[in-house]
Chains A and B, each alone.
Chain A
Amino acid sequence: MSDRLLVSTRKGLMDVRRGHGGDWRVENVHFLGVPVVNTLRDPRNGFLFASLDHGHYGAKLHRSTDDGQSWEEMTAPSYQGVAGDVALQMIWTLAAGGGDQAGVLWAGTLPGGLFKSEDNGESWSLNEPLWSVPEKAAWMGGGYDDPGIHSICVDPRNSNRILLGLSVAGVWLTEDGGQSWSLSAQGMWAEYVPPDIKHNGEIQDPHLIAQCLGAPDTYWCQHHNGVFVSNDNAKSWQELKNAPISRFGFPVAVHPQDPQRAWFVPAQGDDARFPVDGKVVVNRTSDGGQSFETLRAGLPQAHAYDLVYRHAFVVDATGERLAMGSTTGALWVSEDGGDTWATVNAHLPPIYAIEFL
Chain B
Amino acid sequence: MAKLVFTSHLRAVGPTGDSHFEGSTVLEVLDKAFAEHDLLQSYILDDQRRLRKHISIFLDGVRLPAGQALASPVSNTSEIYVMQALSGG
On whether the two chains bind one another, the answer is yes
Interface residues of A (CB under 8 A from B): 54-58, 60, 73, 75-76, 78-80, 82, 85-88
Q: Is the CB of A80 within 8 A of B43?
A: no
Contacts of B54 in A (CB 8 A): 55-56
Q: Is the CB of B52 within 8 A of A86?
A: no
Q: Is the CB of A58 within 8 A of B42?
A: yes
Residues of B within 8 Å of A, CB-based: how many?
A: 20
| Complex Cα spacing A86 to B38, Å | 22
Contacts of B55 in A (CB 8 A): 56-57
Q: List 8 A-B contacts (CB under 8 A).
A: A57-B42, A57-B44, A57-B52, A58-B43, A80-B48, A85-B48, A86-B47, A87-B47
CB B77 to nearest CB in A, in angstroms, measures 28
Q: Select from chain A the residue with minimum beta-carbon distance to B13.
A: A73
Q: Is the CB of A73 within 8 A of B39?
A: yes
Q: Select from chain B the residue with minimum beta-carbon distance to A79.
A: B47
Other A-B pairs, 7, CB within 8 Å; known A78-B42, A80-B47, A85-B48: A57-B9, A57-B42, A58-B42, A73-B39, A76-B42, A82-B47, A88-B46
CB A37 to nearest CB in B, in angstroms, measures 15
Contacts of B13 in A (CB 8 A): 73
CB-CB nearest 4 A-B residue pairs: A55-B89, A87-B46, A87-B47, A79-B47
SS class, residues of chain A in contact with chain B: loop
Interface presence of B50 (CB below 8 A): yes
Contacts of B89 in A (CB 8 A): 55-56
Contacts of A60 in B (CB 8 A): 42
Interface residues of B (CB under 8 A from A): 9-10, 13, 38-39, 42-44, 46-50, 52, 54-55, 84-85, 88-89
Q: Select from chain A the residue with minimum beta-carbon distance to B38.
A: A75
Q: Which one of A57, A58, A76, A85 has the greatest number of beta carbons of chain B within 10 Å?
A: A57
Q: Is the CB of A86 within 8 A of B85?
A: no
Q: Is the CB of A56 within 8 A of B49?
A: no
| Complex Cα spacing A85 to B49, Å | 11
| Complex Cα spacing A60 to B44, Å | 12
CB B60 to nearest CB in A, in angstroms, measures 23
| Complex Cα spacing A196 to B46, Å | 39
| Complex Cα spacing A117 to B8, Å | 32
Contacts of A54 in B (CB 8 A): 43
| Complex Cα spacing A133 to B30, Å | 37
Q: Is the CB of B88 within 8 A of A56?
A: yes
Contacts of A78 in B (CB 8 A): 42, 47
Contacts of B50 in A (CB 8 A): 87
| Complex Cα spacing A85 to B47, Å | 10
| Complex Cα spacing A195 to B54, Å | 40
Contacts of B48 in A (CB 8 A): 79-80, 85-87
| Complex Cα spacing A85 to B50, Å | 10
CB B70 to nearest CB in A, in angstroms, measures 15
Contacts of A82 in B (CB 8 A): 47
Q: Which one of A58, A80, A86 has the greatest number of beta carbons of chain B within 10 Å?
A: A58
| Complex Cα spacing A55 to B88, Å | 6
Contacts of A88 in B (CB 8 A): 46-47
| Complex Cα spacing A22 to B3, Å | 57
| Complex Cα spacing A339 to B55, Å | 49
Q: Select from chain A the residue with minimum beta-carbon distance to B84.
A: A56
